[in-house]
Structure 1
Amino acid sequence: MDGFVIEHLPDGIGTPSDFEYEWEDVSFHSRVWESGPDAEGAFKVDLTVKTMRGERLTDLEAVKDFLVEYEEKEPGDWQLVPVKVGGYDGLFAGDEVFYFIEPGVAAEVTIDQERFTDEDVLDTAAGFHPEPQAT
């Protein structure tokens, strides 16, 4: 997906769908797994992996600033913990982790925290990375 591989997925996720969109000169490619329908006919997002590409994504701090704006977060209220994700610098906040790949490229994984664990989101993120280049 968008030059990335997905090597690990938690058990029990639903059916995937792919999306492409753009916001504020950053392009997104995402794959979303949904379960359902439940008794009321509703579907629930289990897991989302996405790539983000744009000139403004210059480092991890720039990615965070972009996501604060995009996700309409209160910067002081977003409790982020620094993590390493498959060798990349990232920030983790319970149901989501995002990480800086290289200038112009970042990735994010979000998960349904009611059904899945911190380990599930971090393991999925560690397995979501750029495809190795053939030599």
Structure 2
Amino acid sequence: MDGFAIDQLPAGLGSPSDFEYEWEDVAFHSRVWETGPDPEGATKVDLTMKTIRGEQVIDLETLREFLTEYHEKDPAEWKLTPLRIGTYGGYAADGQAFFFVSPGVAAEVSIDRARYSQEDLLTTAAGFHPEDSV
């Protein structure tokens, strides 16, 4: 997907759909797995993987600042844990992880924590990487 390999997915995901969009001059390529519809006709997002490409993504800290604004989080309240995701520096919160690849390139993964563990999230995120970094 957008030059990234997807090597690891948790079991039981629904159907995937791909989306492309832009926000604040940053391009997103997203794959979303959804389960449903349930008896009321609703679907649930199981997993989302995104590539993030833009000149303003200079390093891990500019990525964190950008995503804080994008997700409308209060920087003082958003509980992020710095960590390595594969070979990349990144951050994780409950059900969400993101990492910086190179200037202008990053990725984000989010998972439904009602169905999957934080370990599932981190394993899945580590398996989402540029195709040439295998």
- Class of the TM-score when normalised by the shorter of the 2 chains: over 0.9
User: Residue 107 of structure 1 corresponds to which residue in structure 2?
Assistant: 107
- Equivalent-residue separation in structure 1 for 2:90 and 2:6 (angstroms): 17
Shift, 1:94, TM fit: 1.2
Structure 1 letter corresponding to 2:104: G
User: Residue 52 of structure 1 corresponds to which residue in structure 2?
Assistant: 52
Query: For 1:29-108, what aligned pairs fall within 5 Å after superposition?
Result: 29-108=29-108
Q: What is the SS of the residue equivalent to 1:46?
A: strand
- Equivalent-residue separation in structure 2 for 1:132 and 1:61 (angstroms): 24
- Equivalent-residue separation in structure 2 for 1:14 and 1:71 (angstroms): 24
- Equivalent-residue separation in structure 2 for 1:39 and 1:63 (angstroms): 39
- Equivalent-residue separation in structure 1 for 2:78 and 2:113 (angstroms): 16
Q: What is the SS of the residue equivalent to 1:66?
A: helix
Shift, 1:39, TM fit: 1.4
What is the Cα-based RMSD across aligned positions, in Å?
Answer: 0.8
- Equivalent-residue separation in structure 2 for 1:100 and 1:108 (angstroms): 9
Shift, 1:100, TM fit: 0.2
Unaligned runs of 5+ in 2: none
* Number of matched pairs: 133
User: Residue 126 of structure 1 corresponds to which residue in structure 2?
Assistant: 126
